[in-house]
Amino acid sequence: MNSLKILPFVLFLLGCSSDDDIRDDAGPGETGVEFKLRELHSGMLNPWGMCFPSQSEILITERRGVLLLYNRESGEVKEVPGLPQIDAIGQGGLLDIILHPDFEQNRLVYYSYSSAGSEGNNTAVGRAEFDGERLLNHEKIFQALPYIDGGTVHFGSRLIFDDEGYLFVSVGDRGNAEFAQDSSNHCGKLLRLKEDGSAPGNNPFVNVTGAMPEIFTMGNRNIQGMDIHPETRELYTHEHGPRGGDEINIMKAGENYGWPKVTHGENYDGTPITPHTSLEGYKDPIYHWTPSVAPCGMTFLPANFSTPNNENLLIGTLAAQHLKGLRLEGESVLFTQRYFEGEGRFRAVKCDPDGRCFVLTESPGKLYELVAE
């Protein structure tokens, strides 16, 4: 299927970096400029992540534990065998997927998924060789601990390699907020691994007694978006708050981002979590959404990708059901912008090495190419 959808947008152009002042429902300010969503494929079940093994192909994960290979030239979609056993339950299943930085030489792909043991489940990372049709020689290189008995929520999990070849893995707090402040487990953390899954010797918690050596940051509720700034090369993430308090953060080694001691959110029943939205010793977000939009997926736009109002960051939203453009300058958000409201739960947005941008939605499960004029 290949159809073109054109939707207008409303510009919200305001001037600071706190959602208390920048509101997505402020405005209006109709400009008449348009983005386009070009539908490439539909009928998927909860697509979650994607990567680009060639100029014409996209590997797409479905949370139920299925890996798809989509060919842009032919429109053909095939299932890719060779995955491990996946505990697809609740928010868990087959999650993100990325290529090794030297994929052209070693053909390695990495994927995060929920893995079950005798004591429950938790997020794992596997890698395998992709020969163009199947995964070969799967290897589980990392297992988040502890296993959670009956766990169904907050697995994370996004993956990204940095410029030094380190693999970053986000693991959610698994529904236990106190885990995020406890360095003896992997939950509610951003982790940094070597390509084989081991902990680098210069990780900030390597020499801390009782701490997991893979930890890079802590106090992170449930990170589901990550990308590296094209100029500063800093790692940006966003994470889900509870009822409000979704955050964008710049990740610094050894920092604590506060959850649940510091948050702009509240419990789902409306009761407070903490009176603190900022505290000494905890890293503040550069931006937050209250009420929550449930951000998911994140990409900095390539220089060749022209956007209507010079947005340089795109984020999907689940609860708010739109694609969100942001203009960042330094560590400030100058404005935010909604696109394609009500078109589905925007799960992932990612650009390929050639500067083409793609979007996954669930409910309905569709793959789009995002086109800007």
Residue ranges of the alpha helices (H) in the chain?
103-106
Q: Based on the structure, what is the number of domains in the chain?
A: 2
* 276 & 299 share domain: no
Which uninterrupted H or E stretch holds 267? none
Q: What is the pLDDT of residue 106?
A: 98
* 110 & 136 share domain: yes
Instruction: Report how far apart, in Å, the C-alpha atoms of 88 and of each of 30, 44, 64, 116 are.
Output: 43, 16, 5, 9
Say which residue the tokens 């998927």 belong to: 44
Say which residue the tokens 């109002």 belong to: 309
**Residue 286 belongs to some domain of the structure:** no
Per-residue pLDDT of the chain (373 residues; tens, 9 = 90+): 454 544 333 333 333 344 444 445 433 334 444 789 999 999 999 999 999 999 999 999 999 999 999 999 999 999 999 999 999 999 999 999 999 999 999 999 999 999 999 999 999 999 999 999 999 999 999 999 999 999 999 999 999 999 999 999 999 999 999 999 999 999 999 999 999 999 999 999 999 999 999 999 999 999 999 999 999 999 999 999 999 999 999 999 999 999 999 999 999 999 999 999 999 999 999 999 999 999 999 999 998 887 877 899 999 999 999 999 999 999 999 999 999 999 999 999 999 999 999 999 998 999 999 998 6
* 113 & 236 share domain: yes
Q: Which domain holds residue 274?
A: 48-281
Q: Residue 133: what residue type?
A: E
Per annotation, catalytic residue among 154, 240, 264, 288:
154
Q: 289: exposed, middle or buried (C-beta count within 10 Å: 0-12, 13-18, 19+)? A: buried
Q: 147: exposed, middle or buried (C-beta count within 10 Å: 0-12, 13-18, 19+)? A: middle
* 220 & 297 share domain: no
* 54 & 155 share domain: yes
100 part of the active site = no
* 304 & 185 share domain: no
Q: What is the DSSP letter of 364?
A: T
Give the end of a domain, one of 249, 281, 313.
281
**Residue 224 belongs to some domain of the structure:** yes
* 217 & 320 share domain: no
* 81 & 142 share domain: yes
**Residue 338 belongs to some domain of the structure:** yes
Q: What is the pLDDT of residue 310?
A: 83
**Residue 346 belongs to some domain of the structure:** yes
Give the end of a domain, one of 256, 281, 306.
281
**Residue 116 belongs to some domain of the structure:** yes
Indicate which CATH number applies to the domain containing 154.
Answer: 2.120.10.30
Q: In what order do the strands lie in the sheet with 246-250?
A: 223-228, 235-239, 246-250, 287-289
Q: What is the pLDDT of residue 274?
A: 97
* 230 & 307 share domain: no
Q: How many residues does the chain have?
A: 373
**Residue 151 belongs to some domain of the structure:** yes
**Residue 313 belongs to some domain of the structure:** yes
Q: What is the pLDDT of residue 31?
A: 43
**Residue 227 belongs to some domain of the structure:** yes
* 1 & 39 share domain: yes
Give the end of a domain, one of 252, 281, 310.
281
* 233 & 346 share domain: no
* 24 & 114 share domain: no
DSSP string covering 150-190, please? T--S-----EEE-TTSPEEEEE--TT-GGGGG-TTSSTTEE
pLDDT in tens, 130-181: 999 999 999 999 999 999 999 999 999 999 999 999 999 999 999 999 999 9
